[in-house]
Amino acid sequence: MEDNATALERVYTARSGDELAAAYSDWSSEYDAETAALGYCLPFVIAAWLARYVPAGAGPILDAGCGTGLSGPYLRALGYQAIDGLDFSAEMLAHARRRGAYRDLVGAALGGPLPLPDDSYAAFFSTGVFTEGHAPANSLDELVRLVRPGGHAVFTVRDVVFETGGFASQIEALSAAGRWRRLETSAPFRAFAVGEPEVLVQAFVFQVT
C-alpha cells in the first residue's frame, strides 16, 4: 500500500488519462481515509459557495468529478435532494454509490463530450478536479452547456495551473462569448488543512447566461 504522499504525487504526476485512471483505481479504497489525514477540505467547503448562490430547491445539481462522493451527504444535509455525480473512475463511482446521496452517477471523463443534455442542471460544482494532471480547462465549456440560463458554475482551480493550464484564458473566453458572468473569486486558500501546505486553490462562482 502506498502512503498518502506517494499516492497523491502519483495522481499529480499522471501524464495521461490512463495513468490517472490507474492511479485513482489503486487509491480508491484508501482515498477517503488518506485525504482526511491530510485535512482535505474542498469537498466540504465548496458547500459554502454553493449555498450562497444556489437555493436548495433550485433544481438538480451536478458534482463534476465527484470521486468517492464526499460532498454528496453534506449537501443532502443542507437540503439538496437531486444531486448527480460524474467521474471517469468506475472504482471511485462505486464508493460514491454506496453513500446513497446521489440521484444518478455517470461514468465519463471531463475534457470531452459528456452524455448529458443541454440545460440539465441548476448548477454544477467541481472541487479538486482542475489541478495538476487532471481535467483540462476546456472542460468548462462542456459543463456550462449542461447548466440552464440563470444557473451557476462553482469550482476550484489550483494556482499552479490557472495560467499555464489555460484556465485564465478559458474563463475569459466564456465571459467574452456571453456564456457566463463572474460573481465571485475567492482569495487563495489551502486545499489540505493539515498537510501539503503548498497546494493552494481559488474558488470561482459564475452565473450562466
Which residues lie across from 40 on neighbouring strands? 192
CATH superfamily membership of 42-208: Vaccinia Virus protein VP39 (3.40.50.150)
Q: Are 108 and 88 in contact (CB under 8 A)?
A: yes
In whole angstroms, give the CA distance from residue 179 to residue 159: 23
Strands 189-190 and 180-185 turn out to be: unpaired
| Residue 10: per-residue pLDDT | 56
179 — phi, psi (to 5°)? -80, -30
Residues of the chain with pLDDT under 70: 1-29
pTM of the full structure: 0.87
| Residue 183: per-residue pLDDT | 98
**Kind and range of the H or E element at 32?**
helix 31-37
Cell of 179: 456564456
What number of other Cβ atoms are within 10 A of residue 46's Cβ? Answer: 23
> Which of 27, 124, 34 lies closest to 71 in space, CA to CA?
124
| Residue 34: per-residue pLDDT | 87
Q: What pLDDT, in 10s, does the model give residues 121-166?
A: 999 999 999 998 889 999 999 999 999 999 999 999 999 999 999 9
| Residue 2: per-residue pLDDT | 45
- Cα separations (Å) of 173 from 106, 154, 168? 28, 17, 9
| Residue 108: per-residue pLDDT | 96
| Residue 4: per-residue pLDDT | 45
